């Protein structure tokens, strides 16, 4: 177990290292950041001066070493726009994003798994066919458009729910959270619903496929022959086996949710990291983009690691090697 | 043709209502994309044809609707339906072109990885693994923000995220194929690697490729729409359906919904049609592929 | 003689598929008495397993019990509700499946799966249930039972798993055990052990067993009486000893001739010519006629009824074999 964990941690470091190289290279090709930090009427000498200060006059390789060295020391650079440490900017906005993503994935899971189990256990019923058609429609929908239509119906046509911002927040353990206030909930419903839709559809389909596979297994019949109720059979004997592919997709979906949060946050003016990323892209605020990418890369790698751990908890046949 | 009509494939197709529905949607879309410009009265990009007087007309069935503009007009008096017809061409073109590019590159890399194995294999698959642990939307967004926008850049970004799926599929099928005896026999008979790949391996990996490609077009269209919505996709002079939706966003709050609702609805129909048909193809051609 | 524990009469279980109606069980009648082992024999695809599932009410669409009575201790199971059947499954009638590799759920411990049976059918508390499980594992010949309870199925060998399955079937004190090819998936050396174990455990408890198998050799060791099935119908039934010694139906004879014996002087085993016909397209007449060496024109015209031949033997044949026929 220890050896396995160490091996996985080394892999994580390797992935993060590759990401840092790629991010660094990409960023070096995109325009000259010096123009972001100097006044418009600077002289050539002043530009040169700023260059030296930013280390842009050195070779690419030494720039990379400065870049990675600073990061390892916890210095992630300062935003050109906000004149604040980029990491701090992102960390301030992270709770909002995590909050929305968590509500979305909870919503998606809570709906997808029961429906998926039902559709997988009764594949020929008209209701199941309806569920499947609906889920296919769900993965065919452009998420941003769904968000806009929700805004139109619930905020413009029938003004029931707010269309932007987080609403009231309170501090919990130093984090600004909105899910503990009624106003916060009113604000989070539409964005998280928008975000949840595609994930819901995909998880439903995976659960169904897994369930259909499991339904054919002898142990399901054996459980019936023991006199277990249909509910026990489906949710205890069936679902735990069907969950194995669902866990993989859960990890991937969590990543997708973080990615698509950029769009959802833009639509609903949700003050999270995704909106910050998009704004920074518009403004060419390179340090913020870099930190965002490194941080999300870290989050994804960590999620993948957790998924592998969860596997071993669900399926005793997979032993950690 | 008669052989096709009496085939098992066609028999199953005829009994599969979703597949028929999906292909009808796609056919309608193809007709619209190809002949649409002849059918709509206005060229939305010819400024001389636009009448500012006609701006923000609602769809024809609502009060104030104008029979000339079936689905209403936008702020510049542009016919929404006409914009959709032109936008659908751009969306569909990007989806298909990105599919072709990533298919060619991904298949080539997958063949190399699967057939030759060794160092090339580990490098290609390592990259694929790392890439797959990140959402393709985020990678595309990052590439677009780093290298700038435009249709060509969208194609490059989509290809960069799409090749992985092909490489993995093709590598898997290739590995399965080269173990078979006839390949060994072909080697013994002195056929070159290139010839073996072309004559024996490639035809056998074709089926999963068709299935993957179908679904991939839908995915690409959705990613492109999202990128354009964020403003890092196609340029305003060549708006895809996604960009049309974005254009309608600002006026949505004043209750003008038709400029964004209809383009989005068309994206949905297009992708839904692709997915319905793709599902059928997958079940029919390769039940094991998920 | 005591009333039979189980009495199946004129059972018909059909499957309504796209390609037509499959009459998997077509008018089967037999009974099982207390403390007795009855063998259901036939080639694969002969509807043997479907009988077991029909008794437990585990037939899923497109399958359906079309007609017939399944009297268990005087009550008709076919008429019971799903809720009532759940108490009977595992409680009164338990089942042992063919493949021990797949009949245990891979993600739960063996102990959990045994415990489930007791939770469903007894009022014992946790500790008593655990004690009972350990005791039962020991009885089926699993050593260090207490520690094995926390192991997962994949940590057991095939033979061990089948012992676990048998232990589960016996746990709740069922009066009837239906064993569906319980040893087919096992090594030959393990087969005999398991069969002996099953017979001893069941007979000692005064329970009865239905043994579904394609293997007459197994039957001759295990069963008191035999029911031979062909294409969903009973073609012969009677005491095991009599049937093995001298069958009345040509099909049974064919099955017997295809068993290898130690005393064999034959160069090759005899086998029944042809294959089982497509059960969906059976018309009138005896369904075995195309493979039968005694077939006459009448066999294609009239379906033979099951009727007494000699001794304990009933056979459905127009031209039953004489005793000790060559």
pLDDT for A37:
65
CA distances from B208 to A157, A181, B117, B136, B287 (A): 46, 50, 20, 21, 10
Whether residue A225 and residue C56 make contact (CB cut-off 8 A), yes or no, is yes
DSSP, residue by residue, B151-172: HHHHHHHHHHHHHHHHHHHHHH
**Which residues of chain C lie closer than 8 angstroms to A319, CB-CB?**
none
A42 DSSP β-pair partners: none
The two beta strands, C176-180 and C20-32, are: unpaired
Whether residue A219 and residue C105 make contact (CB cut-off 8 A), yes or no, is yes
Whether residue A227 and residue C58 make contact (CB cut-off 8 A), yes or no, is no
**Which residues of chain C lie closer than 8 angstroms to A224, CB-CB?**
56, 58, 89
pLDDT for B101:
96
Whether residue A136 and residue B276 make contact (CB cut-off 8 A), yes or no, is yes
**Which residues of chain C lie closer than 8 angstroms to A227, CB-CB?**
86-91, 117, 120-121
Please count the CA atoms within 13 angstroms of the CA of A204 that sit on its side-chain side: 27
Q: For chain B, how far is it from start to end, CA to CA, in angstroms?
A: 30
pLDDT for A113:
92
- In angstroms, what separates the C-alpha of B133 from chain A's closest C-alpha? 7
What's the mean pLDDT in B114-122?
Answer: 88
C308 DSSP β-pair partners: C314
pLDDT in tens, chain C (326 residues): 457 888 888 888 888 877 778 888 888 888 898 888 998 988 776 678 888 888 888 888 788 888 888 888 888 888 888 888 888 888 889 888 888 778 888 888 898 999 988 888 888 888 989 998 998 888 888 888 888 888 888 888 888 888 888 888 888 888 899 988 888 777 777 788 888 888 888 878 888 899 888 888 888 888 889 999 888 888 888 888 888 888 888 888 888 887 776 665 666 666 777 777 776 666 777 888 878 887 778 887 888 888 888 888 888 888 888 777 66
Whether residue A219 and residue C99 make contact (CB cut-off 8 A), yes or no, is no
Please answer whether residues B177 and B186 qualify as being in contact, where contact means their C-beta atoms are separated by less than 8 angstroms: no
User: Is A133 in the B-facing interface, judged by CB distances under 8 Å?
Assistant: yes
Whether B286 shows a pLDDT value over 70: the answer reads: no
The neighbour count for residue C65, using CB atoms within 10 Å, is 19
Q: Chains B/C: 3 or more C-beta pairs closer than 8 A?
A: no
Which of B137, B253, B271 lies nearest to residue A140, judging by beta carbons? Answer: B271
Dihedral (CA of B240, B242, B245, B246) sign: negative
Which residues 122-161 of B have a C-beta within 8 angstroms of A? Answer: 130, 133-135, 137-138, 141-143, 145-148
Please answer whether residues B244 and B260 qualify as being in contact, where contact means their C-beta atoms are separated by less than 8 angstroms: yes
Q: Please report which helix (H) or strand (E) contains residue B140, including its range.
A: helix B136-147
Please tell me the distance from the alpha carbon of residue A91 to that of residue A273, in angstroms, as a whole number. 8
pLDDT for A321:
39
- In angstroms, what separates the C-alpha of A301 from chain B's closest C-alpha? 7
DSSP 8-state code for residue C59: P
- Write out pLDDT tens, residues C37-80: 998 988 776 678 888 888 888 888 788 888 888 888 888 888 88
Whether residue A315 and residue C107 make contact (CB cut-off 8 A), yes or no, is yes
Whether B120 shows a pLDDT value over 50: the answer reads: yes
C21 DSSP β-pair partners: C16
Please tell me the distance from the alpha carbon of residue C266 to that of residue C281, in angstroms, as a whole number. 36
Q: Flag residues of chain A having pLDDT under 50.
A: 320-321
User: Is C323 in the A-facing interface, judged by CB distances under 8 Å?
Assistant: no
Please answer whether residues C279 and C232 qualify as being in contact, where contact means their C-beta atoms are separated by less than 8 angstroms: yes
Tell me the two tokens of residue B242.
């996604």
Q: How many CB pairs under 8 A join A and B?
A: 117
Q: What share of chain B is helix, strand, coil (3-state, %, to 5)?
A: 75, 0, 25
Please tell me the distance from the alpha carbon of residue C148 to that of residue C110, in angstroms, as a whole number. 7
What's chain B's average pLDDT? 86
Q: For chain A, how far is it from start to end, CA to CA, in angstroms?
A: 7
**Which residues of chain C lie closer than 8 angstroms to A223, CB-CB?**
105, 116
The share of chain A scoring above pLDDT 90, in percent, equals 28
Which of C61, C95, C116 lies nearest to residue A228, judging by beta carbons? Answer: C116
User: Is A321 in the B-facing interface, judged by CB distances under 8 Å?
Assistant: no
- Interface residue of A259, A261, A279, A302 to substitute, partner B, most B CBs within 10 Å: A259
User: Is B56 in the A-facing interface, judged by CB distances under 8 Å?
Assistant: no
**How much is the ipTM here?**
0.87
Whether residue A255 and residue B134 make contact (CB cut-off 8 A), yes or no, is yes
- In three-state form (DSSP H/G/I as H, E/B as E, the rest C), the secondary structure along A126-186 is HHHHHHHHHHHHHHHCCHHHHHHHHHHHHHHHCCCCCCCCCCCCEEECCEEECCCCHHHHH
Whether residue A27 and residue B146 make contact (CB cut-off 8 A), yes or no, is yes
Whether residue A225 and residue C97 make contact (CB cut-off 8 A), yes or no, is yes
**Which residues of chain C lie closer than 8 angstroms to A218, CB-CB?**
97-99, 102-103
Which of A140, A163, A259 lies nearest to residue B138, judging by beta carbons? Answer: A259
Please tell me the distance from the alpha carbon of residue A121 to that of residue A212, in angstroms, as a whole number. 6
Which of A144, A282, A304 lies nearest to residue B245, judging by beta carbons? Answer: A144
- Rg of chain B on CA atoms, in Å: 23
Please answer whether residues B262 and A179 qualify as being in contact, where contact means their C-beta atoms are separated by less than 8 angstroms: no
Please tell me the distance from the alpha carbon of residue C294 to that of residue C324, in angstroms, as a whole number. 16
pLDDT for C267:
64
Whether residue B272 and residue A137 make contact (CB cut-off 8 A), yes or no, is yes
Please answer whether residues B71 and B241 qualify as being in contact, where contact means their C-beta atoms are separated by less than 8 angstroms: no
pLDDT for B289:
41
User: Is C149 in the A-facing interface, judged by CB distances under 8 Å?
Assistant: no
Which of B135, B249, B267 lies nearest to residue A259, judging by beta carbons? Answer: B135
User: Is A11 in the B-facing interface, judged by CB distances under 8 Å?
Assistant: no
**Which residues of chain A lie closer than 8 angstroms to B225, CB-CB?**
142, 144
DSSP 8-state code for residue B45: T
Please answer whether residues A95 and A190 qualify as being in contact, where contact means their C-beta atoms are separated by less than 8 angstroms: no
Please tell me the distance from the alpha carbon of residue C192 to that of residue C183, in angstroms, as a whole number. 8
pLDDT for A320:
45
Q: Chains C/A: 3 or more C-beta pairs closer than 8 A?
A: yes
DSSP, residue by residue, A3-40: HHHHHHHHHHHHHHHHHHHHHHHHHHHS--THHHHS-T
The share of chain B scoring above pLDDT 70, in percent, equals 97
- In three-state form (DSSP H/G/I as H, E/B as E, the rest C), the secondary structure along B263-274 is HHHHHHHHHHHH
Whether B109 shows a pLDDT value over 90: the answer reads: yes
Please answer whether residues A251 and A303 qualify as being in contact, where contact means their C-beta atoms are separated by less than 8 angstroms: yes
pLDDT for B290:
39
**Interhelix angle for A86-121 vs A182-215, to 10°?**
40
- Interface residue of B133, B218, B254, B255 to substitute, partner A, most A CBs within 10 Å: B133
pLDDT for B272:
94
Q: What share of chain C is helix, strand, coil (3-state, %, to 5)?
A: 35, 25, 40
Whether residue B245 and residue A148 make contact (CB cut-off 8 A), yes or no, is yes
**Which residues of chain B lie closer than 8 angstroms to A149, CB-CB?**
257, 261, 264
**Which residues of chain C lie closer than 8 angstroms to A219, CB-CB?**
102-106
Whether residue A142 and residue B142 make contact (CB cut-off 8 A), yes or no, is no
Whether residue A296 and residue B225 make contact (CB cut-off 8 A), yes or no, is no
pLDDT for C263:
63
């Amino acid at each position: 177990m220890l050896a396995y964990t160490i091996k996985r941690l080394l892999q994580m470091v390797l992935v993060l290292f590759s990401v840092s190289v790629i991010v660094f290279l990409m960023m070096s090709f995109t325009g000259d950041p010096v123009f972001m930090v100097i006044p418009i009427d600077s002289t050539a000498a002043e530009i040169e001066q700023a260059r030296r200060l930013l280390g842009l006059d050195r070779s690419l390789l030494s720039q990379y070493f400065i870049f990675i060295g600073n990061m390892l020391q916890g210095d992630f650079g300062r935003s050109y726009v906000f004149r604040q440490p980029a990491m701090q900017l992102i960390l301030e906005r992270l709770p909002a994003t995590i909050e929305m993503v968590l509500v979305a994935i909870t919503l998606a899971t809570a709906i997808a798994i029961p429906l998926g189990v039902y559709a997988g256990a009764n594949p020929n019923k008209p209701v199941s066919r309806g569920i499947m058609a609906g889920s296919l429609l769900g993965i065919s929908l452009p998420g941003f458009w769904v968000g806009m239509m929700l805004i139109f119906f619930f905020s413009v046509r029938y003004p029931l729910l707010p269309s932007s911002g987080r609403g009231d927040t309170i501090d919990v353990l130093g984090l600004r959270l909105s899910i503990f206030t009624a106003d916060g909930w009113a604000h989070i419903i539409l964005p998280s619903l928008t975000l949840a839709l595609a994930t819901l559809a995909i998880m439903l389909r995976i659960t169904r496929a897994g369930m259909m596979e499991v339904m054919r297994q002898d142990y399901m019949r054996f459980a019936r022959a023991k006199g277990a109720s249909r509910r026990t059979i489906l949710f205890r004997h069936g679902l735990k086996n069907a969950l194995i592919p669902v866990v993989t997709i859960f990890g991937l979906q969590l990543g997708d949710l973080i990615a698509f949060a950029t769009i959802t946050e833009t639509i609903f003016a949700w003050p999270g990291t995704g909106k910050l990323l998009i704004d920074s892209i518009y403004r060419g605020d390179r340090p913020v983009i870099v930190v965002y990418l490194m941080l999300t890369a870290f989050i994804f790698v960590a999620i993948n690691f957790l998924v592998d751990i969860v596997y071993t908890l669900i399926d005793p046949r997979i032993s950690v090697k | 043709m008669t052989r096709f009509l009496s085939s098992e494939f066609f028999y199953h197709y005829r009994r599969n209502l979703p597949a028929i529905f999906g292909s009808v949607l796609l056919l309608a879309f193809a007709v619209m994309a190809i002949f649409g410009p002849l059918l709509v009265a206005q060229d939305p990009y010819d400024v001389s044809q636009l009448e500012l007087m006609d701006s923000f007309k609602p769809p024809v069935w609502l009060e104030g609707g104008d029979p000339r503009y079936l689905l209403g007009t936008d702020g510049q008096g542009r016919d929404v339906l006409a914009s959709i017809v032109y936008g659908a061409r751009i969306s569909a073109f990007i989806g298909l072109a990105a599919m072709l590019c990533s298919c060619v590159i991904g298949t080539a890399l997958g063949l190399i990885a699967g057939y030759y194995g060794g160092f090339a294999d580990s490098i290609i698959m390592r990259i694929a693994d790392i890439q797959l642990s990140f959402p393709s939307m985020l990678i595309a967004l990052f590439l677009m923000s780093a290298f700038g926008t435009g249709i060509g850049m969208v194609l490059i970004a989509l290809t960069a995220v799409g090749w992985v799926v092909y490489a993995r599929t093709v590598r898997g099928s290739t590995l399965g194929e080269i173990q078979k005896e006839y390949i060994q026999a072909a080697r013994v008979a002195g056929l070159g690697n290139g010839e073996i790949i072309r004559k024996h391996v490639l035809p056998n990996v074709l089926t999963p490729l068709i299935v993957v490609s179908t679904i991939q077009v839908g995915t690409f269209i959705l990613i492109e729409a999202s990128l354009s919505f964020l403003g890092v996709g196609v340029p305003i002079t060549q708006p895809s359906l996604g960009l049309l939706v974005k254009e309608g966003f600002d006026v949505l709050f004043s209750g003008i919904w038709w400029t964004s609702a209809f383009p989005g609805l068309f994206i949905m129909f297009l992708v839904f049609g692709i997915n319905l048909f793709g599902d059928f193809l997958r079940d029919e051609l390769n039940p094991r592929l998920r | 003689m005591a009333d039979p524990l189980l009495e199946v009469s004129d059972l018909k279980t059909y499957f309504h598929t796209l390609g037509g109606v499959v009459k998997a069980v077509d008018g089967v009648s037999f009974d099982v008495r207390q403390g007795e082992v009855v063998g259901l024999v036939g080639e694969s695809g002969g509807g043997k397993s479907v009988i077991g599932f029909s008794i437990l009410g585990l037939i899923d669409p497109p399958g359906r019990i079309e007609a017939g009575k399944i009297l268990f201790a005087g009550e008709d199971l076919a008429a019971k509700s799903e809720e009532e059947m759940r108490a009977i499954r595992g409680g009164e009638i338990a089942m042992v499946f063919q493949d021990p590799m797949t009949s245990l759920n891979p993600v739960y411990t063996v102990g959990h799966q045994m415990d489930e049976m007791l939770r469903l059918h007894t009022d014992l508390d946790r500790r008593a249930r655990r004690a009972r499980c350990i005791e039962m594992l020991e009885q089926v010949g699993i050593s260090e039972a207490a520690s094995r309870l926390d192991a997962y199925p994949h940590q057991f060998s095939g033979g061990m798993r089948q012992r676990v399955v048998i232990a589960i079937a016996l746990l709740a004190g069922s009066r009837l055990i239906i064993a569906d090819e319980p040893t087919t998936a096992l090594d030959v050396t393990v087969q005999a052990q398991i069969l002996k174990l099953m017979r001893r455990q069941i007979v000692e408890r005064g329970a009865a067993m239905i043994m579904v198998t394609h293997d007459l050799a197994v039957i001759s060791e295990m069963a008191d009486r035999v029911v031979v099935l062909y294409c969903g119908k009973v073609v012969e039934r009677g005491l095991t000893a009599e049937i093995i010694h001298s069958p009345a139906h040509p099909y049974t004879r064919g099955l017997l001739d295809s068993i290898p014996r130690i005393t064999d002087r034959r160069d090759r085993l005899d086998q029944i010519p042809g294959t089982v016909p497509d059960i969906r397209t059976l018309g009138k007449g005896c369904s075995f006629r195309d493979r039968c060496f005694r077939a006459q024109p009448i066999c294609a015209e009239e379906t033979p009824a099951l009727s007494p031949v000699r001794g304990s033997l009933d056979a459905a044949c127009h031209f039953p074999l004489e005793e000790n026929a060559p």
